[in-house]
Amino acid sequence: MRKRIVIGRGTPAYTLRGAGLALTLSLATLSFARGPAFAQGVNTAPPPLLLGAAWYPEQWPESRWDADLQLMEDAHLHVARVGEFAWSTIEPEEGHYDLDWLERAVRLAEKHHIAVVIGTPTDAPPAWLTAAHPETLRIDATGRPAEHGSRRQFNYASPEYRKFCADIAGQLARRFGHDPGVIGWQIGNEYTDESFDPATRLQFQAWLKRKYGTLDALNRAWVTAYWSQTYYRWEEIPLPSAGGNPGLLLDHRRFVSETWRDFQQVQIDVIRKYADPRQFITTNIGGLGWSDNWDHYEITRPLDLASWDDYVGEGHLNVARNAAMHDFAHGWKRENFWVMETQPGSVNWAPVNTTLDAGETRAMAWQAIGHGADAVLYWQWRDALNGQEQYHGAIVGPDGAPLPIYSEISRIGSEFERAADALRGTRPEAQVALLVSYDSRWAIDFQPHNRNYDQLDVLLGYYRPLRDQQLTVDIVSADSSLDNYKLVFAPSLNVISQDLAAHLLTYVQQGGHLVLGPRSGMKDEHNSLNTQRQPGPLAAPLGGRVEQYYALDGVVPVSGTPGSGTASLWAEQISTSAPDVAVLLRYGKSNGWLDDRPAMITRGVGKGRITYLGAVLDPDLMRKVVAWATSDAHLVPEFPEVPTGVEVCRRVDAGRTVFVLINHGAAVAHVALPSAMSDVLHDNSRHVTSVDLAPQDVAVLESNAR
């Protein structure tokens, strides 16, 4: 069979297939994920769109590898992540390395046009290591050392452990740093648990000493006169394992973030020393994307590429939540990212490990691409015959033959090949952003005050109506540059230091519209209460402040210019102090304190506007509030109205736009397009003015307009 594959703008290549043989021609011009392109070093940038899987050759007889890689190639998979748990195979004894098998695996993958990302195996130290060096074992919050037999049993702060990590990463980088079949590196795997051992405690105390200089400064910042917490010697400061002073807790989270960052940097340095610059370095960020053990901005800053692990777990794709996670990942480096792991149908760790419906895995893959992913990798290719994850979803079965999901994944792969050319160089571009900050997330989570106040849900309350207006949304760190945005929402910006306030005020004065949500500006950078009422340093420019906050166990009526509805979970009584402040929403009759008081105010400041919304509103009123803000900021939908259930994602490059449309709904959707566009997945040369999408169906549409 002769099949034409479009592999790059104007660089077609032809693949001859038959009897399991694939021979690629036109090698010199290849720019898609064709192995020989890497082999010849013709193309140094990672290909524009990749589908792949985690592959563990060390778990299988070498005689099986070729069959697996052939099945991958047939399914249009062009990247495999290998090695990230293979320490005992790579270094079976201390100082004795065996990398030949890995090299043979990389060569064989290359033969099948599959590029390789090597994971350093530092998430799973071998037994010889922790037995001989017990100080490398993590101690949990109850003081118990971790044991061999699972993974993540290492102590992230241990200099001895980091030395072993540097050694093995160095061995790998020396061997594969110039290997044309290797396109990148993943450091460790889903950084997870910190350690509470005495040596890490000493490091924390030294970190605090560097930060504060004197105990007086620390005692002042944490207000340790409270409950006689005053520290007289650095050695008295605990590693908080079960609550504590909010200043101590916040600094500990920062210390944990920096300690993971330093753990990672040791490996970045050694890989960079030996590896070609064309090989990217990343780490896969887990925890359903929203994990808050450490600061994702801190960890991704030194990396070349951000990647995360996108799992649904039980049930079905929560469209807005998952989309927001992608946008959050996109915001870590404000660049396109990879989905380094996602489920081929099901997982093994949810309460009930349901499987995604037929078609849902494809919809999910395209959602990732629509929001800025350039690669999607399944975890995993084939389950290990034994080990803790025997029940996890996979692409081929224990017999080595394709499982039912294989054909859907193969379809995604062939679509990625077809769309790679159109999507090359494109990225999401937003005019509206949601601001997040780890300080604020941690500060609220230490003391939620209302156990039902879920910051992600509150954020999604803003995100959903923006997406329903077909707007691309960025989710970015509050301290990042806001120049590109006409409108920014800060839903729960609890910690606002003087510096952050100045940054936000500059944005407003230069013409931006900042909408602060409930709980904003209550704390300073030490997690101490601001001595100005909320929103702290922004109260003066706002011309108003929060007189008192209330955790709610019922609903409170709210009404005003945008419309009427209810508040729940949280409500703040707001006052105004300047004549030019407009009250947009007021509370109705409730607890007496809130009755008839402002719930939302706004004021023009400089060339821009600052608004404060002091309550969590019901979805309908939230939609109206967001509509008021987007219309005030002159934001126009990027696509005309689409039927309910259809998600529109937009990626742009100079002079052209690619829309990814996904029908998450249960009925066929007819979508009229704003202009004629080429239908990338079907017939590129055909321009269409409408598309009909069956449930779970996807259209990729390219327009020459921006």
Q: Three-state SS across 230-252?
A: CCCCHHHCCCCCCCCCHHHHHHH
Question: Would residue 415 show up in a list of annotated catalytic residues for this protein?
Answer: no
379 scored as a contact of ligand GLA (CB under 6 A):
yes
- Look up 389 and say whether it is catalytic: no
Here's the x/- map for ligand GLA, 231-270, by CB under 6 A: it reads as ----------------------------------------
Is 309 a binding residue for ligand GLA by CB under 6 A? The answer is yes
Query: Which stretch, 341-349, 414-422, 519-527, 615-623, contacts ligand GLA (CB under 6 A)?
Result: 341-349
Nearer Cβ to ligand GLA, position 392 or 441?
Answer: 392
Shortest reach from residue 200's CB to ligand GLA, in Å: 23
- Please identify, using beta-carbon distances, which residue of 298 and 309 lies nearer to ligand GLA: 309
Helix (H, G, I), strand (E, B) or coil at 601: strand
Cα gap 127→125, rounded to integer Å: 7
The answer to the question of residue 310 lying near ligand GLA (CB under 6 A) is no
- What's the one-letter identity of residue 47? P
* Closest approach of ligand GLA to the CB of residue 354, in Å: 14
Structure-block tokens of residue 512: 């931006």
Helix (H) or strand (E) holding 690: strand 683-693
Cα 600–602–607 angle (5° rounding)?
A: 160
CB closest to ligand GLA, residue no = 309
Distance in angstroms (rounded) separating the CA atoms of residues 504 and 500? 6
Which one, 58 or 190, has the nearer CB to ligand GLA? 190
Instruction: Give the DSSP H or E segment for 324.
Output: helix 319-333
190, 298, 638, 702: the active-site residue: 190
The answer to whether 189 contacts ligand GLA (rule: CB under 6 A) is: yes
Tell me whether residue 291 or residue 576 sits nearer to ligand GLA (CB atom): 291
3-class secondary-structure state, position 621 = helix
For β-strands 182-186 and 280-282, DSSP reports them as: parallel
Binding to ligand GLA by residue 374, rule CB under 6 A? no
Phi, psi (deg, nearest 5) at residue 124: -140, 80
603 scored as a contact of ligand GLA (CB under 6 A): no
Q: Considering the rule CB under 6 A, would residue 286 count as an interface residue with ligand GLA?
A: yes
Q: Which of 194, 341, 415, 702 is catalytic?
A: 341
The CA angle 634-640-641, to the nearest 5 degrees, is: 105
Q: Which of residues 391-450 bind ligand GLA (CB under 6 A)?
A: 392
Q: Would you count residue 679 as binding ligand GLA (CB under 6 A)?
A: no
HEC sequence for 279-307: CEEECEECHHHCCCCCCHHHHHCCCCCCE
Report which of 278, 283, 327, 325 is spatially closest to residue 306, judged by C-alpha positions: 283
Rule CB under 6 A: choose which of 91, 110, 190, 295 binds ligand GLA.
190
d(CA 124, CA 154): 8
341 binds ligand GLA per the rule CB under 6 A: yes
Choice from 306, 347, 458, 629 touching ligand GLA (CB under 6 A): 347
Rg (CA), the chain: 27
637 touching ligand GLA, by CB under 6 A: no
Helix, strand, coil percentages, rounded to 5, for the chain: 35, 25, 40
Nearer Cβ to ligand GLA (191/549): 191
- 288 or 688, CB closer to ligand GLA? 288
**Quick one: tokens of 603?**
């004021």
**Active-site annotation, residues:** 190, 341
Q: Contact positions toward ligand GLA, by CB under 6 A?
A: 189-190, 286, 309, 311, 341, 347, 349, 379, 389, 392
